[in-house]
Amino acid sequence: MSEDRSEAEARSSHVPREDRSEAEARSSHVPREDRSEAEARSSHVPSEDRSEA
Amino acid sequence: MSDWGFAGRYDDVSGQVAIVGIGEAEQTSASGRTTREIAAQAVERALADSGLAPGDVDGIMRAPFGRDQFDQRAYHEHFGTSHQMWESDRGGGMVWAGTAPYEAARALHEGRARHIVNAFAVAWATQRGEMVGGPGEVHAQERFKQSLEVPFGWFPQPVYFATIARRHMHDYGTTQEQLGAIAVACRRHANLTPGAVMHDKPLTMEQYLASPAIVEPFRKEDCCLISDGGAAYVMTTPERARDLRPPVIEVAGVGIGSASTGTYWSQQRAFTSTPQVFAAPVAFDMAGLTPDDVDVLTCYDPFTIVSLMQIEDMGFCAKGEGGPFVEDDALSFDGGRLPYNTHGGMLSHAYVLGIAHVVEVVRQLRGEAAAQVPRARVGVYGGYTGPQASTLVLTRP
């Protein structure tokens, strides 16, 4: 990801990707590296800090 | 069917928090301002409304996302202060505009702060010209969506919610006109609200129906604005509130609900429901009230169908009956059965993700709203992200 892209995301989205990952890592007991796999395997771990809306 | 989610376990905080100051930044189209400049204006106005000085506020809440929100450092830079502040990223807009008072109640109770401001702002209209793909871009970067949603045309947000609207129409017979009734009511309220982005832009049902579809069944009027703006509110204990400006507006109940079937709407088992099913009963129980007691409702409303679903899921009518429920001026401030988004909501007031909805409820309960509901004493905000929803019940004792 280029620097420009990263900045554009931060400016243009509801939930910048990097911040969301950090927030998710802080907000749950699922280790950060395992979070996406856990989400893929099981849907019992709602991601608290993202939005569909 | 209620096995697809759960309510968060909240302690009873009824009567422990009051909202003593509210402020809105100018809600505009592209303004050239930065997010922090907008937030600072909202916080300044909220402090002025409360009668507190910048040095009196020792708690600050901001959104859990976004690098440019108004944090402690920005607060001190703007106001020239340097005191220690309790700080939380469990605030801002969306769901958190509704749950921030719960977090504040705990901080006030534990003595970590005496006066707490929750603020949120966006400059997305200004930034729009720099966007690569608009607000949906972050969704496009997600592998889940890239792999399992985008290839099937499930992208971006208007498409998700148009599909949900279609399903609601199929399952319950909801009509285009019923969705339009929500858009028209919100626009009417915005036309009465001087600060609304769509002020002086009337919308009739005929105009709504004649508007071209952007993704069936949605017209652009079914979709929220993109705007620059923000809002803030100041919280303290009811005891301290009695020394500040009257009337005291208290937090009577808070609830949060989450879907357990997944983060993404395509994983939802209850495709036409929101986690308000779980959040609202907790908040109403805490408040000792029912939906029948509510004088004014505001809900996070990215699309008309999200308003309709939340009205159902919070218990204002039975599931599937939201369409008939919103017909015939039912949502109007002046005589409607459920005065709704009386400032215009995100469809017609401003796209500041719900925090201005809380400000509007406080205005209503004070008796200071532009589209004032007579004798409003109980007001509710419904916060929403998709996988989560929150309910905040405010009262004027």
**For the segment B287-310, what is each residue's pLDDT rounded down to a tens digit?**
999 999 999 999 999 999 999 999
Percent of chain B with pLDDT over 70: 98
What is the predicted pLDDT for the residue at A5?
A: 39
Contacts of A10 in chain B (CB under 8 A): 66-68
Cα–Cα distances in angstroms (integers) from residue B167 to residues B67, B139, B156, B261, B309, in the given order: 37, 22, 17, 19, 12
Most confident of A7-16, B12-21, B135-144: B12-21
Distance from chain centroid for Cα B339:
15
Residue range B126-152: mean pLDDT, rounded: 79
β pairing state of B228-236 and B18-24 = antiparallel
Does B172 participate in catalysis according to the annotation? no
Whether residue A44 has pLDDT greater than 90: no
pLDDT over threshold 90, residue B397: yes
pLDDT score, position B265: 86
> In whole angstroms, what is the distance from residue B13 CA to residue B347 CA?
31
In this prediction, residue A30 carries a pLDDT of 32
Q: What is residue B167's three-state secondary structure?
A: helix
pLDDT at A47: 57
pLDDT digits (tens, 9 = 90+) for B181-196: 999 999 999 999 999 9
| Residue among B381, B387, B383 nearest B19 (CA) | B381
Under a CB-based contact definition with an 8 Å cutoff, are residues B271 and B396 in contact? no
Confidence band for B135, pLDDT divided at 50, 70 and 90: low
Contact yes or no for A52 and B259 at CB 8 A? no
Higher pLDDT, A1 or B383: B383
- Could you tell me if B325 and B334 are in contact, meaning their C-beta atoms sit under 8 angstroms apart? no
Cβ–Cβ contact A52 with B under 8 A: yes
Residue B167 confidence (pLDDT) above 90: yes
Confidence of residue A43 (pLDDT cuts 50, 70, 90): very low
Q: Do B387 and A13 touch (CB under 8 A)?
A: no
A 10 A CB-CB count for B368 gives: 11
Q: Is B351 a catalytic residue?
A: yes
Distance from the first to the final alpha carbon of chain A: 25
Q: CA-to-CA distance for B98 and B358, rounded, in angstroms? A: 8
**Contact between chains at B258 and A44 (C-beta distance less than 8 A):** no
Contacts of B144 in chain A (CB under 8 A): 39-40
Q: Which residues contact B61 (CB under 8 A, 6 or more apart)?
A: B87, B88, B89, B90, B91, B92, B96, B100, B103, B104, B116, B117, B118, B119
When comparing pLDDT for B261 and B84, which is higher? B84
Mean pLDDT, rounded, of chain B: 95
Q: Answer yes or no: are the C-beta atoms of B56 and B247 closer than 8 Å.
A: no
The pLDDT of residue B68 is 86
The model's confidence at residue B386, banded by pLDDT at 50, 70 and 90, is very high
Under an 8 A CB cutoff, do A51 and B94 touch?
yes
**Per-residue pLDDT at B134:** 53
Q: Residue B260: what residue type?
A: S
Confidence at residue A2, expressed as pLDDT on a 0 to 100 scale: 38
Instruction: Quote the Cα angle for B53-B54-B59, to 5°.
Output: 115
**Section B49-62 average pLDDT:** 98
Neighboring chain B residues of A45 at a CB cutoff of 8 Å: 263
CA distance B19 to B233: 7
| Strand, coil or helix: B255 | strand
By Cβ distance, the residue of A12, A19, A39 closest to B65 is A19
A17 to chain B: nearest residue by CA?
A: B138
Q: Which of B160, B300, B381, B384 is catalytic?
A: B300
**What confidence tens digit (pLDDT) does each residue in B205-231 have?**
999 999 999 999 999 999 999 999 999
* pLDDT-derived band at B67, boundaries 50, 70, 90: confident
Dist. CA B276–CA B259, nearest whole Å: 10
Whether the pLDDT of residue B26 is over 60: the answer is yes
Which of A14, A17, A48 lies nearest to residue B135, judging by beta carbons? A14
B296 alpha-carbon distance from chain centroid: 13
Q: What is the pLDDT of residue B112?
A: 98
Asked whether residue A13 carries a pLDDT value surpassing 70, the answer given is no
**What pTM was estimated for this model as a whole?**
0.90
Q: What is the mean pLDDT of residues B224-252?
A: 97
* DSSP code for B55: G
Return the percentage of chain A with pLDDT > 70, whole number. 9
Cα separation, A14 vs B95, whole angstroms: 13
